């Protein structure tokens, strides 16, 4: 969910910084991020200031979430210690500048991968660790099972966000009548929906599940299956270090491959003895694939041992193991009808 | 001539005994009169009273029911505060505040190291009481403790690590060296002749050796004790480095406010004097600084510090992410403080300056002994106003990713563990109480100080 005003600010900031960046990009000679990280002995990870399921401090003050575990996985691969991460919480306004300036080594902060961001900001998205999109929530007693039945409905949404624009696009494209009831903050929006000011509530699907918990009777509401926008969320790195880009990208693929091959946190030690050549290559008992991206051969073993595979991380933070209970859906493996597909290790 | 006594009075209508004193009539004393005088003394006041009464009657019972009667006081997760799970209407979810209180106080500071924060909190409380309670003994030692020992100790204890330990060793050597120096001076005071001058030297020489240079010796003794204790702690349990990224909660709020308050006052005095100075360069620099800082919002300063600065400064020389807003807030508050103090300086009659000069006092003596004590007293409300504003402005650091008290509450509000319809109202009520108590305490204290200092002007 990107706010329009925020985008304008970003655009202005980028224009202003263009010169400074151009100058620094010219003078920069292949900074080896991995070497810097190793020398610093800690990974600087740009994180969210608080988003349910993706990055939230628990009662002890430790960060938990899907994005947080991505950072821990990168740290585990490099240092064999998932605790060697320094989380730098960044607001939506300063996240990309912090990455550009080198203050963080990678940014895992539910940022939507868009063309402009890939092309103009001097950063690269390494992949998609969560396929999000805008969805609808309605009361069960309405008897609605599809967004296409929402003709004539009033929809609560947040003002000035892309959510509002997507909503208009979707209803116009499907020739449906609707009435927007917009509020300044997400909190007011959900309150209004709870009070019955509108028939449906819309925001990013991952957010719908978190907001539903704040309703007085969460079980009386359902999330409709339609996803009306594409919000691929992923980690990003600076575009001046291909080796580091590769490393961050392959940490995600390693977790996906581990899930696909059935390697879990619990059985990873047994899997070391597996005769399956694919597992052997993945866990580094055969070949030296980790060394090609600057890591050790047991890099995947480290990730799975300390953090787990993608499926485990998903279920623990946003799926059935969490309060959000988000279905895998698009985030399932390609073998199970989802979009998560990793190239092979070979 | 007859005696004009009552007994002999010839008339029947003259009362012969004194009447019992009666209570004042209800129209001038008692509760009804009080109500009439204070609440219904005229049509406007009567109307106001009724309006206020209406507001109180409509709001207070609901507030009390929400925050106390229907509130949930204990529980481990959201189930405790969900109406359908508890089977009754649920008001404020204080169980959530209780569960997350540690996080609100310490942020992500590692749990095994939190005793270090507690020590700093205790030292801070001691320093505050020592400074603010006007009958506390040894005020000058207290000031030294608050302004020198406390900040250094807080740095050593909160941050820790190799750098802090090296600094601690240096400090111990330094205090030890100074102790030896004063020990020598106690027996051979004439060595300090070049510093004290002959008159003061004679005073010191008249005292027995253990009482010579008594005041500096007290300060050094205290520094030795405090740093010694910290060194013992560092040796015994170790003070591993805790990165400032893990700091948060009330600890950071107090830190930012304390740094702002401690640095802005002296800096503000210097800037105010600079602005009124007759030396053109000093005056110009002061004016430029004050007007520039007053011309930009605090948010801009914070953004410059945490978003723009890293773009211009190489990563390895870039100052700490917490230090940058600390400096920004202190400089920002100093500019406002300077203007407040300048107001006090301008309120001083010219006669005070002339009187001081006619006594032969130099500029600094005149300022220190005559002008500033009076000028500062005049502007106490303004100074405290700036402090309170500064304390509340500390919440702005959230936009640059620093987890102050308010931010820690907001961060827990998104956590599904405690997602209930009333969590938000509870969290913000808790924040409101905290900020109100701190700000209200400051303003009450300033009123007391004003009264005490104005004693000389009462007739």
CA distance A19 to chain B (A): 11
The two tokens of residue B258 are 């304390």
More confident residue, B361 or B29: B361
Q: What is the predicted pLDDT for the residue at A244?
A: 95
Residue A154: phi, psi to the nearest 5? -100, 135
Flag whether residue B70 sits within 8 Å of chain A, measured between CB atoms: no
pLDDT over 70 percentage in chain B:
98
Nearest CB partner across the interface for B416, out of A87, A91, A323: A323
Q: B102 is written with which tokens?
A: 């540690």
| pLDDT of residue A125 exceeding 60 | yes
pLDDT for position B458: 67
Exposed e or buried b per residue across A325-343, where buried means at least 16 C-beta atoms within 10 angstroms of its C-beta: ebebebbbbeeeeeebebe
Q: What is the pLDDT of residues A126-138, one digit of tens each?
A: 999 999 999 999 9
Question: Does A7 touch chain B if contact means CB atoms closer than 8 Å?
Answer: no
Of residues A254 and A10, which shows the higher confidence score? A254
Residue A221 CB contacts under 8 Å (≥ 6 apart), including other chains:
A137, A138, A139, A140, A212, A215
The pair of three-digit structure tokens given for residue A168, joined into one six-digit string: 């208009």
Closest approach of chain B CAs to the CA of A95, in angstroms? 9
Per-residue pLDDT tens digits for A62-80: 999 999 999 999 999 999 9
Beta bridge partners of A180: A155
Q: Give per-residue pLDDT as tens, B174-212.
A: 999 999 988 888 888 777 777 777 777 888 788 887 778
Average pLDDT, chain A: 87
Rg (alpha carbons) of chain B, rounded to whole number: 31
Structure tokens at B77: 């997760």
Interchain CB contact of A185 with B (< 8 Å): no
Instruction: Estimate the crossing angle of helix B250-275 against helix B114-132, to 10 degrees.
Output: 40
Q: Which pLDDT belongs to residue A35?
A: 93
B282 Cα distance to chain centroid: 30
Instruction: Look up tokens 């914070």; give the residue.
Output: B302
- List of long-range contacts for B141-146, beta carbons under 8 Å, 24+ apart: B141/B218, B141/B219, B141/B222, B144/B219, B144/B222, B145/B222
What is the share, in percent, of chain A residues with pLDDT greater than 90? Answer: 58
**pLDDT-based confidence at residue B399 (cuts at 50, 70, 90):** confident
Stretch B440-457: mean pLDDT: 85
Q: State whether A49 and B246 contact (CB < 8 Å).
A: no
Is the pLDDT score of B12 beyond 80? no
pLDDT(A19) > 70: no
Cα–Cα separations (whole angstroms), residue A319 to A66, A96, A109, A267: 10, 28, 18, 21
Q: Do residues A91 and B401 touch, judged by C-beta distance below 8 A?
A: yes
Does the predicted interface ipTM exceed a cut of 0.95?
no
Q: Which helix (H) or strand (E) holds B87?
A: none
CB B123 within 8 A of CB B153: yes
Q: Which of residues 84-113 of B touch A (CB under 8 A)?
A: 84, 99-100, 102-103, 106-109, 111
With a cut of 70, say whether residue A11 has pLDDT above it. Answer: no
Q: Does A26 touch chain B (CB under 8 A)?
A: no
Residue A56 sits at the chain B interface (C-beta within 8 Å):
yes
Q: Taking a contact as any Cβ pair under 8 Å apart, which residues of chain A between 209 and 228 contact chain B? A: 210, 213-217
Q: Residue A268 forms beta bridges with which residues?
A: none
d(CA A47, CA A28): 25
**Interface contact B414-A51, CB threshold 8 A:** yes
Q: Which residue of B has its CA nearest to A87?
A: B245
Span A272-303, pLDDT tens digits: 999 999 999 999 999 899 999 999 999 999 99
Over residues B292-327, the pLDDT tens digits come to 999 999 989 888 888 788 888 877 777 888 999 999
pLDDT for residue B33:
87
A106 DSSP β-pair partners = A45
Q: Quick one: average pLDDT of A21-34?
A: 57
Query: What does the pLDDT average to over A13-17?
Result: 49
Among residues A19, A144, A163, A108, the alpha carbon closest in space to that of A307 is found at A108
**Considering only CA atoms, which of A331, A299, A309, A332 is closest in space to residue A256?**
A309
Give the pTM.
Answer: 0.84
Paired sense of beta strands A200-204 and A130-132, if any? unpaired
Q: How much of chain A, in percent, has pLDDT values that exceed 70?
A: 91
Q: What is the pLDDT of residues B400-441, one digit of tens each?
A: 888 999 999 988 988 888 988 889 899 999 999 999 999 999
pLDDT at B11: 77
Integer Cα distance of A108 and B138 in angstroms: 54
- Is 80 exceeded by the pLDDT of residue B73? yes
| pLDDT tens-digit readout, A48-63 | 888 889 999 998 889 9
Q: What is the pLDDT of residue A28?
A: 46
CA–CA separation, B71 and B96 (whole Å): 11
How is residue A42 written in tokens? 């800690």
Q: Where are the domains of chain A?
A: 4-131+231-336, 134-223
Termini Cα distance of chain B: 52
Which helix (H) or strand (E) element contains residue A86?
strand A85-89
Q: Which residue has the tokens 């002994």?
A: B369
Domains A4-131+231-336 and A134-223 share a fold: yes
A 82-101 residues inside an 8 A Cβ radius of B? 86-91, 93-94, 97-98, 100-101
Q: For domain A134-223, give the CATH number.
A: 3.40.190.10
- Interchain proximity B311–A214, CB inside 8 Å: no
Stretch 414-443 of chain B: residues touching chain A, C-beta under 8 Å: 414-417, 419-421, 423-424
Query: In this predicted structure, what is the pLDDT of residue B215?
Result: 81
Residues of A in contact with B422 (CB under 8 A): none
Q: Does position B7 have pLDDT exceeding 80, yes or no?
A: no
Q: Which of residues 171-230 of B touch A (CB under 8 A)?
A: none
- Chain A positions touching B315 (Cβ under 8 A) are 101-103
Q: In this predicted model, what pLDDT tens digit does every residue of B235-294 receive, in sequence order?
A: 888 889 998 889 999 999 999 999 998 899 999 999 999 999 999 999 999 999 999 999
CATH code assigned to A4-131+231-336 = 3.40.190.10
């Amino acid at each position: 969910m990107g706010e329009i005003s925020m985008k304008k600010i970003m655009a202005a900031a980028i224009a202003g910084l263009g010169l400074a960046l151009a100058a620094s990009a010219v003078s920069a000679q292949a900074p080896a991020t991995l070497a810097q990280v190793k020398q610093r002995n800690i990974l600087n990870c740009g994180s969210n200031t608080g988003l349910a399921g993706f990055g939230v401090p628990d009662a002890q003050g430790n960060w938990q979430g899907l994005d947080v575990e991505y950072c821990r996985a990168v740290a585990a691969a490099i240092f064999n210690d998932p605790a060697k991460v320094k989380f730098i919480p960044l607001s939506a306004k300063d996240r990309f500048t912090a990455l550009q300036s080198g203050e963080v080594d990678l940014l895992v902060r539910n940022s939507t991968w868009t063309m402009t961001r890939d092309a103009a900001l001097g950063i690269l998205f390494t992949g998609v660790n969560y396929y999000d999109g805008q969805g609808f929530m309605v009361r069960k007693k309405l008897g609605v099972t599809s967004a296409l039945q929402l003709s004539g409905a009033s929809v609560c949404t947040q003002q000035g966000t892309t959510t509002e624009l997507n909503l208009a696009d979707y209803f116009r494209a499907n020739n449906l009548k609707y009435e927007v009831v917009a509020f300044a903050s997400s909190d007011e929006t959900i309150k209004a929906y709870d009070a019955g000011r509108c028939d449906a509530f819309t925001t990013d699907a991952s957010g719908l599940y978190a907001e539903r918990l704040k309703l007085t009777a969460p079980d009386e509401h359902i999330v409709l299956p339609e996803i009306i926008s594409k919000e691929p969320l992923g980690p990003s790195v600076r575009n001046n270090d291909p080796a580091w880009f590769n490393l961050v990208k392959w940490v995600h693929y390693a977790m996906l491959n581990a899930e696909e091959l059935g390697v879990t946190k619990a059985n990873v030690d047994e899997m070391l003895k597996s005769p399956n050549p694919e597992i052997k290559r993945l866990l580094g008992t055969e070949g030296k694939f980790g060394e090609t991206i600057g890591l050790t051969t047991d890099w995947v073993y480290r990730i799975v041992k300390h953090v787990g595979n993608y499926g485990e991380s998903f279920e623990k933070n946003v799926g059935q193991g969490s309060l959000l209970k988000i279905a895998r859906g698009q985030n399932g493996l390609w073998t199970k009808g989802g979009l998560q597909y990793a190239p092979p290790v070979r | 001539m007859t005696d004009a006594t009552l007994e002999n009075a010839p008339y029947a209508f003259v009362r012969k005994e004194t009447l019992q004193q009666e209570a004042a009539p209800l129209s001038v004393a008692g509760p009804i009169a009080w109500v009439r005088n204070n609440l219904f003394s005229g049509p406007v006041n009567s109307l106001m009273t009724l309006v206020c009464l209406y507001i109180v009657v409509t709001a207070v019972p609901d507030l009390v029911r929400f925050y106390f009667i229907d509130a949930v006081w204990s529980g481990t997760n959201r189930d405790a505060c969900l109406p359908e799970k508890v089977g009754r209407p649920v008001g404020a979810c204080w169980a959530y505040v209780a569960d997350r209180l540690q996080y609100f106080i310490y942020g992500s500071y590692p749990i095994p190291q939190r005793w270090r924060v507690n020590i700093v909190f205790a030292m801070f409380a001691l320093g505050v009481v020592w400074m603010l309670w006007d009958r506390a003994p040894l005020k000058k030692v207290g000031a030294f403790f608050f302004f020198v020992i406390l900040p250094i100790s807080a740095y050593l204890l909160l941050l820790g690590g190799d750098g802090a330990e090296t600094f601690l060793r240096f400090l111990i050597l330094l205090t030890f060296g100074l102790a030896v120096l004063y020990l020598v001076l106690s027996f051979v005071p004439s060595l300090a002749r070049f510093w004290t001058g002959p008159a003061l030297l004679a005073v010191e020489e008249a005292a027995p050796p253990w009482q010579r240079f008594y005041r500096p010796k007290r300060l050094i003794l205290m520094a030795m004790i405090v740093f010694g204790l910290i060194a013992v702690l560092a040796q015994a349990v170790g003070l591993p480095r805790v990165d400032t990224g893990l700091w948060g909660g009330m600890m950071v709020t107090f830190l930012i406010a304390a740094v702002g308050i401690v640095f802005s006052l002296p800096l503000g005095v210097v800037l105010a004097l600079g602005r009124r100075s007759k030396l053109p360069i000093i005056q110009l620099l002061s004016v430029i600084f004050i007007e520039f800082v007053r011309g930009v919002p605090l948010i801009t300063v914070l953004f410059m510090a945490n978003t723009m600065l890293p773009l211009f400064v190489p990563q390895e020389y870039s100052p700490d992410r917490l230090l940058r807003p600390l400096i920004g807030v202190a400089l920002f508050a100093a500019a406002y403080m300077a203007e407040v103090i300048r107001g006090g300086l301008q309120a001083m009659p010219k006669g005070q300056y002339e009187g001081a000069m006619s006594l032969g006092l130099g500029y600094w003596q005149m300022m220190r002994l005559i002008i500033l004590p009076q000028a500062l007293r005049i502007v106490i409300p303004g100074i405290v106003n700036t402090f309170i504003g500064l304390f509340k402005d500390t919440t702005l650091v959230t936009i640059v990713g620093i987890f102050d008290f308010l931010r820690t509450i907001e961060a827990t509000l998104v956590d599904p563990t405690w997602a209930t319809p009333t969590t938000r109202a509870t969290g913000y009520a808790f924040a409101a109480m905290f900020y109100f108590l701190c700000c209200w305490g400051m303003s009450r204290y300033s009123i007391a100080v004003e009264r005490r200092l104005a004693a000389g002007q009462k007739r």
